[in-house]
Structure 1
């Protein structure tokens, strides 16, 4: 089941990536340099034979895409280090490895991904250690999926989430939770269209039908009834409900919080993220709720190709990858 979910997610990512790569204006620069000073903090480093990777130059340094071989190192000390700008651009260079494998971490606590003999590392040069073998194999599948002519970091969302859980979440937990709670009062699930407007009454009917079971579950689960409002500026939720949600977030491990943060950002809804976390919504149900109003308008006025369809594909990638990451990172 997990492997089929990962395969389906990767197929969706590839289709979306190939469609949008020509329109993206963001560029990804990296250097495969080792033992140099003044190196860009977003550089991509790995051990390699210099003859295999000639340097490519561009006139604009800010948009450089180049590879420069480092001095040779022994296989025992070699690694692959992910850049800080990972997942922010298009094709970053040719595939420099042949085999992708996983192995148990040296301390026996977690699993590593290996590109040939090199241990995959995070932007801060720590071994990328996955809590479960399933997650390590899924990230390995992302790397195996890369084509010979180019590595596409934006098709590796599980890798991005793993780096986030290992490096960003541990040092910014209070800020992440604070940000999530600030948005909680303006949650998508709590906001209904006005009932006294002919243009929005049909939308409101859908929201009552689809959002109603979620708000009822929230009341049953946390013993406080959510406040439903029609203002774009949101409404103040009861402090008891706020405290209950905040305490739930504080109890989450780093992988769970990284996934919740990613889902909430894509969905504009912490509630949807939490309901998915508790296993009460699957990916398709979540996407239906997130796009409820927009899909209503598309049905009425039509779909804009290159706009709505790309947005749908992007949302599907973000929600499904975070949901898959959440499931694979849990120790059963």
Structure 2
């Protein structure tokens, strides 16, 4: 069941990440292909002599770069056999997850968005890294239910080193301008944390982090434990890219818009880019990838709710 804070705050979001997706897709189109036979799809049918009625994704879909050539012509959606959810069809085959479970999605809008990702795939190879919504759906359906406790534990292990708690020194000419920008941009988020969880965050300048009050740690952990599978999958994905559980929770709760979250995540690096310049093929690709990771998690959660 969704935590009340998330259920209260989540609201429609504008999926303005298509430009970033197109950047990564252009890069993917020129990427070197792995051996398509190393991680092939499997096909199954109800009867011995019947044509395959389903297709199962390889386990390497969650980590591989290319998992085989496109074998289908048409992608469409249909209601699940039990009437509870929606599935994606590759021609006449029902798409299944790596554990051979039907890919059953909660809303038609999410099913159509994932179908669009499959429709995009090129003849020479299926590229999972161009299907962020599909990967999040597999995570929510398979990984989160089995490893929920471990996911929460891993998120909380890094909580004391959260990006938003680390403050640049203000008594050094090399870092004072960073400190001033952090005060301007991050302090409003910290005030929101205090108002929502009832504890004022502790700030520190050490790269190794510090120690937050037990009350704040327990409140955040309780929120994570009460999330549903889609919410936890989205929070985990954002936190991994943001190096900040607070930014992840604030984004999922609607406190931060996508652009605001990305600005906070890149605050120090963008200041360095402003000072020393942007490295083409480095900074720009990192920015595009970050936009896709953050935006896709927010859009995935919104679509799973029918928003």
TM-score (norm 1): 0.83
Map of 2:42 onto structure 1: 45
Alignment equivalent of 1:313, drawn from 285, 288, 299: 288
Task: Tell me, yes or no, if the aligned pair for 1:158 and 1:321 is still in contact at 8 Å.
Answer: yes
The residue aligned with 2:239 is 264
Question: Which structure's CA Rg is the greater one?
Answer: 1
Tell me the SS of whatever aligns to 1:85.
Answer: helix
Matched, 1:216 2:213: no
User: Residues 193, 28 of structure 1: CA spacing in aligned structure 2 closer, same or farther, 3 A cutoff?
Assistant: farther
Q: Aligned in 2, Cα 1:288/1:11: closer, same or farther, shift over 3 Å?
A: closer
Q: Deviations over 1:284-321 (max 9, x none)?
A: 11100000000000000011111111111111111111
Matched, 1:278 2:253: yes
Q: Deviations over 1:50-107 (max 9, x none)?
A: xxxxxxxxxxxxxxxxxxxxx98525x5211111111534444432212211111112
Give 2:5's aligned residue. Answer: none
Q: Which residue of 2 aligns with 1:252?
A: 227
SS at match of 2:207: coil
Contact 2:162 2:245 in 1 (8 A): yes
Cα distance in 1, alignment partners of residues 12 and 126 from structure 2:
24
Number of residues of Structure 1 aligned to a counterpart in Structure 2: 296
Cα pair 1:30 1:44 within 8 Å, conserved: no
**Counterparts of 1:194 and 1:28, CA distance in 2:** 50
Aligned to 2:6: none
- Out of 158, 171, 177, the residue aligned to residue 196 of structure 1 is 171
Partner SS, residue 120 of structure 1: strand
Q: Displacement of 1:243 after TM fit?
A: 0.7
- For 1:226 and 1:208, locate their aligned partners in 2 and report how far apart those are by CA, in whole Å: 14
Residue in structure 2 matched with residue 13 of structure 1 by the alignment: 21
The match for 2:50 among 64, 74, 90 is: 74
2-side partners of 1:81 and 1:132: how far apart? 21
Change (3 A) 1:175 1:145: same
Matched, 1:134 2:109: yes
Say whether the 8 Å CA contact 1:9–1:321 is kept in structure 2.
Answer: yes
Q: Which runs of 4+ in 1 moved over 4 A?
A: 1-4, 20-24, 28-31
CA root-mean-square deviation:
2.4
Q: Secondary structure at the match of 1:114?
A: strand
Give the Cα separation in 2 of the matches to 1:313 and 1:73: 47
For residue 237 of structure 1, what is the aligned residue in structure 2? 212
